[in-house]
Homo-oligomer: A and B are copies of this chain.
Amino acid sequence: MDKNCEPIARLIGCFMSLPGVGYKTAQRYAYSVLKLDKTDCSNFAKAIVDVKDKVKFCKICGNFTENDVCDICKNRQSDIICVVKEPKDIIALEKVKNTKWVYHVLQGCISPLEGKGPDDIRIKELLDRINNGNVKEVILATNPDVEGEATAIYISRLLKPLGIKTTRLAQGISMGSDLEYADEVTLTKAIESRTEI
């Protein structure tokens, strides 16, 4: 079936394990690797090995880091914890100017369909942080989908008895979007949470 020679076919197989990459794209990538010079090639290979060897989870928040504690936890003191699903959500939220919070990565969301319950994500570690430290507010920044909402509601119910302010990212229409194409749920949320100007 595969007319490519073995090393190329093997590399195509590897590229196909990346998200959204099919055979044609993987083949295109493999041929472009063949055009790289030898140093770039070994650097690429080294980068793949290094990312697996060197990147660990931050002991405190669960973010990716090379050290025991990530740069954010090391350099930022805050009594606000922003709870996210995955490390990549931190990258997105760090685009906000003057971020004054620290993070807590759940490493997933409650999802009965995937067989993931509250004990399978890092909720216990969050409660430990809250019990040990001086936390004033918890921002629940899970995705606005079914799993994210369920997880946010679950955590907010756990935190209520502790008397900690629990907030959720505002929902509404996105900047630059078009009302015409906004869905019903988003518009309902936007109307409900309308603000005075």
Contact = CB atoms under 8 A, between A and B. Distances in A.
A63 B71 CA distance: 49
Given A43-B14, A91-B4, A33 B19 contact: no
Report, as a range, how many residues of chain A touch the other chain. Answer: 35 or more
A16 B42 CA distance: 15
B33 A51 contact: yes
30 contacts: A3-B90, A3-B94, A4-B91, A7-B50, A7-B51, A7-B54, A8-B51, A11-B51, A13-B47, A14-B47, A17-B36, A17-B40, A18-B28, A18-B32, A20-B28, A27-B91, A31-B86, A31-B87, A34-B55, A34-B64, A38-B52, A41-B49, A41-B51, A41-B52, A42-B49, A42-B52, A44-B48, A45-B45, A45-B46, A45-B49
Given A29-B19, A44-B48, A66 B6 contact: yes
B32 A71 contact: no
Interface of A: 3-8, 10-11, 13-14, 17-20, 27-34, 36, 38, 40-52, 54-55, 64-66, 70-71, 86-88, 90-91, 94
A38 B48 CA distance: 10
